Chains A and B, each alone.
Chain A
């Protein structure tokens, strides 16, 4: 065990303070078992308010049709699809943290993965609203499913990227939900076994599915987590790839680009990590979980942000180069006139995108900035504004001035109901997140305990000095036949 548990002193601890297993349980269950703070109530009420605004906006749209939105020729996709892509992108960080980092054996993921996975699920729920309500006749939404119908049956078009999207988003939501919940079951069992109140015993008893933590169950649980991680990894890449196909397979200048899949995936992880930072910088403070979501976690995520931000930056430049190199006048017009030209009607949006996504994250090359909470929070908001504008730029600036100048709609601006719908998804997202942080452990209990003796501050301190011993001495002293 000693040998397996050893991790170099070069790596800082991931759990601060003098913790044992019971203390970890106490710390993480405390927010669930105590009454919510005033701050929680304020946040929750604001979120519900936004959600109601959203419901009103959607009701208006359903009653009076999509004409309630300022979509028109040639801007058939405006805020709605921008918001759709933005929310789906945000979801990606959760899967990246829970799945890809599990495969890469990154210990730090355990502090943030549960909240990030929850964020994924809520973000995908928000994203799904947009294409659904955009349909207009939403009561016919089930037409997108290939079911035996009385019209032939006339099947859906399996060659269409929009149908691929239906499958991608619904699969992504289902798999994320299963992954998240199967991870939650043991932690819910912990809450159940600690419960004093009748309703808690009942609620967590039902939710924990009768989990006991037997070794055989854990063995299967580990196998399940690993395979689900292995499945989610290509899945998350495929989802944003398919979202990018919505654009890339068209022949619209500005959309018809082979670079879209990797560019969209990098952008999705970029904005998703920014949203994780927004949530966790606040969560760790409000729920007093600073020992579990440490500066180390914040710094690592900022490193991911500067990496993916730079990848996105290279993608922007590549697009410009390809527009010039292709020598297609329409491509050139889309990129150099509609976007790059600050004096064009929507040129400002391109430069907001460039400033927020490419220039501003470069500050994270400096270590002290990566560990600055206020700056991290500010940057996380800025990046998500930038990433929203990226989608706006891609979608709207490519279509608002097309081949025919007489049909140009040079000032596409949203109506109150378009804005309200977007705000409503914020309401949905944060209502869900507030409820999650109240009723579920926001940190993966069992997983923190799993790494505690390797990455806990007090345990690491005990291991100090091991590096000074020779390897032979070390294995004689600490190693033993583990498998037999």
Chain B
């Protein structure tokens, strides 16, 4: 939780945004984030973000579901209280496939969505600083982190040069806090 200084530029076309991201990285500026109204394929790679491991997490959750179903049913119907259903074997694996499958899907889906929410810090009453409200509408907003060494004028000029509009200096909270969007109060005191 810290308030930092950012220099933000708005782009109105992804055709301009893509080369701009490359130029910014080549110039050595640190991109804090690019906010977009919809997913832009390849932007994560262009920004140098690593691939997400959410898939792997999903696979592990799925396996856990499979193991839970097979393990539990086996224990319940062969060890804990074996019941003779129509003369069939106690251990009747084929009949357990439907439930095993359903639990695999259930564990994988619920686990992945929860992990997704955890990683992206998504939950009801979570509030984050927004650089430009239009970034959920039609604008691509690039936020560059300013350090002590950065010269603001230089960065502003650079951003204007690569096609950004309405370039501005903003002080924003980088983390999240509990709050409501109809109220401006923050639960945590800002450090300046």
Contacts and interface: CB of A to CB of B under 8 A. Distances in A.
A238 interface: yes
A33 interface: no
A190 B102 contact: no
Contact of B35 (A174, A199, A214): A214
Interface in A181-230: 182, 185-186, 189-190, 192-195, 198-199, 201-202, 204-207, 209-224, 227-228
Interface stretch (A18-26, A56-64, A398-406, A468-476): A18-26
Interface residues of B, number: 73
A222 B14 contact: no
A42 interface: no
Interface string B49-79: 1011011001000100000000011001100
Nearest to A193: B133
A157 B81 CA distance: 11
Nearest to A158: B73
Interface in A55-88: none
Contacts of A449: 37-38, 138
Contacts of A245: 98
Nearest to A176: B109
Given A159-B95, A446-B37, A210 B123 contact: yes
Nearest to B72: A146
A152 interface: yes
A465 interface: no
Contacts of A194: 133, 137
Contacts of B46: 484
B8 interface: no
A367 interface: no
A201 B44 contact: no
Interface stretch (A160-168, A335-343, A420-428): A160-168
A39 interface: no
A235 interface: yes
Contact of B99 (A164, A195, A215, A217): A164
A393 interface: no
A245 B83 CA distance: 22
A217 to B, nearest CB: 4
B110 A190 contact: no
Contacts of B49: 215-216, 219
Contacts of A163: 99
B28 interface: no
Most buried by A among B14, B37, B45, B106: B37
A171 B138 contact: no
Nearest to B74: A158
Contacts of A174: 106, 109-110
Interface string A128-169: 000000000000000000100000111101110101100110
A205 B181 contact: yes
A231 interface: yes
A387 interface: no
Contacts of A223: 52, 54-55
Interface of A: 1, 4, 20-22, 25, 146, 152-155, 157-159, 161, 163-164, 167-168, 171, 174-175, 178-179, 182, 185-186, 189-190, 192-195, 198-199, 201-202, 204-207, 209-224, 227-228, 231-232, 234-235, 238, 242, 245, 445-447, 449-450, 482-484
16 contacts: A25-B37, A158-B73, A163-B99, A167-B99, A168-B98, A171-B103, A174-B110, A178-B113, A194-B133, A205-B182, A210-B127, A210-B128, A211-B122, A212-B136, A445-B37, A447-B38
Ordered nearest first, which 6 A-B pairs have the shortest CB separation?
A205-B181, A21-B138, A210-B126, A201-B182, A209-B122, A446-B38
Interface of B: 14-15, 18, 22, 33-47, 49, 51-52, 54-55, 58, 62, 72-73, 76-77, 80-81, 83, 85, 88, 92, 95-96, 98-99, 101-103, 105-106, 108-110, 112-113, 116-117, 119-128, 130, 133-138, 176, 180-182
Given A215-B34, A215-B49, A228-B112, 16 more contacts: A25-B137, A158-B96, A171-B106, A189-B136, A190-B136, A192-B181, A195-B181, A201-B182, A206-B124, A210-B126, A212-B130, A218-B39, A218-B40, A224-B54, A227-B108, A449-B138
